[in-house]
Amino acid sequence: MRGKSTEDATSISDGPLSIRVITHNIRYATQYPFKGEEPWSTRCPLLCSQLVFNSENPATFICLQEVLHSQLMDILSSLNTSTATQSHDSWSYIGVGRDDGKSVGEYSPILYRPRIWHLKRWETRWLSETPTIPSKGFDASSIRIVTIGHFVHVKTSQNILVMSTHLDDQGRQSRRESAKMILERIRFFSNHDQLSTVLLGGDFNSPPDDEAYQVMTTSDSIMEDIGAQVPKTKHYGNEMTFTSFGYVDNKPSRIDFIFCRKGDRVTYQTYAVLANRFDDGIYLSDHRACVADVLLEPGPTS
């Protein structure tokens, strides 16, 4: 869609719909940075610039993890400042702080443009034995959530389910059961809503040889890893998504993913893992952003 104005890019309702998904664990704004980690005040403008640059497609969804409320406001302000001359292109978000279901604790928010996507409904589910109330589950070291939004594309009326999540870094059982809960919720919405597709981004803290990833990608799963479906020759950027800040936990791994529902009328166009450090040597985060472009064909929903 590059080269077209925003109005032009969204005026065609009878052709394929190009959707970009970005997922990024931005690292929460700690008061006690690791060695090699700059404070949020330094990282924020750099990370926001990356998000602005990579969200030119009006139909972009940005799925973030490890976001404190103040960071969410900073990012939303930056995105909206970048479109100040086009106020109709302003961004909004869904999500809550995981600790109280309001604004305390880390969010896993989904950012989107309301002019492009009508929000039909949304919810946060806690990845625990009591998913409707703030709670820690299984053997998790922290409270874990998934944010779920049902969006309708204003021009084409395509219905999309978008999800953002962050699984536990310590509890293997928690990761495994969380993956099962997420798939169960996807099946629920797939059975009750006329969805064109389902897109899920997140930090799974689960490399491909871990149980949670395997649950998500088994032959019986309703979802598939876009990065694994796009040929390696068409990948852009890096392979590893967790880098650390260069010192603590300095073992790169692939633990951030973008999934799509199997069997939908979707073509995977691109997949990338972006850089998180440039000439200035400052890490935007200890994770790299993942980006995928999908082309959703018009047609019957499931």
Domain CATH number, residue 141: 3.60.10.10
> Is residue 150, in this structure, part of any structural domain at all?
yes
**What was the pLDDT predicted at 87?**
54
Name the percent of the chain lying above pLDDT 70.
92
Give yes or no for residue 9 having a pLDDT over 50: no
Give yes or no for residue 10 having a pLDDT over 60: no
**DSSP state string for 97-135:** -TTTSSSSS-B--EEE-TTTEEEEEEEEEESSSSTTSS-
Cα separation of 295 and 15, whole Å? Answer: 10
**What was the pLDDT predicted at 86?**
55
> Is residue 2, in this structure, part of any structural domain at all?
no
CB 164 within 8 A of CB 111: no
Cα separation of 190 and 97, whole Å? Answer: 26
- Identify the CA nearest to 21 among candidates 282, 286, 269: 269
Give yes or no for residue 158 having a pLDDT over 80: yes
CB 254 within 8 A of CB 240: yes
Q: Give pLDDT tens digits for 48-92.
A: 999 999 999 999 999 999 999 999 999 999 999 976 545 558 999
User: Which DSSP helix (H) or strand (E) runs through 17?
Assistant: strand 17-25
At which residue do the structure tokens 């018009």 appear?
Answer: 298
Which residues partner with 198 through β-bridges?
161
109-137 mean pLDDT = 98
> Is residue 178, in this structure, part of any structural domain at all?
yes
**What was the pLDDT predicted at 89?**
80
> Is residue 4, in this structure, part of any structural domain at all?
no
User: Which DSSP helix (H) or strand (E) runs through 293?
Assistant: strand 290-296
260-264 mean pLDDT = 97
268-293 mean pLDDT = 98
Cα separation of 63 and 25, whole Å? Answer: 9
Which residues form the domain of 58?
16-296
Amino acid present at 188: F
Give yes or no for residue 190 having a pLDDT over 90: yes
23-51 mean pLDDT = 98
> Is residue 221, in this structure, part of any structural domain at all?
yes
What contacts 216, CB < 8 A, 6 or more positions away?
A: 179, 182, 183, 204, 223, 225, 257, 259
Give yes or no for residue 11 having a pLDDT over 70: no
**What was the pLDDT predicted at 6?**
37
> Is residue 302, in this structure, part of any structural domain at all?
no
> Is residue 3, in this structure, part of any structural domain at all?
no
> Is residue 102, in this structure, part of any structural domain at all?
yes
Please count the structural domains in the chain.
1
Phi, psi dihedral angles at 295 (to 5 degrees): -115, 115
Q: How confident is the model at residue 1 (pLDDT cuts 50, 70, 90)?
A: very low
**What was the pLDDT predicted at 82?**
77
Rg of the chain, C-alpha, whole Å: 18
Q: Give pLDDT tens digits for 204-258.
A: 999 999 999 999 999 999 999 999 999 999 999 999 999 999 999 999 999 999 9
**What was the pLDDT predicted at 301?**
52
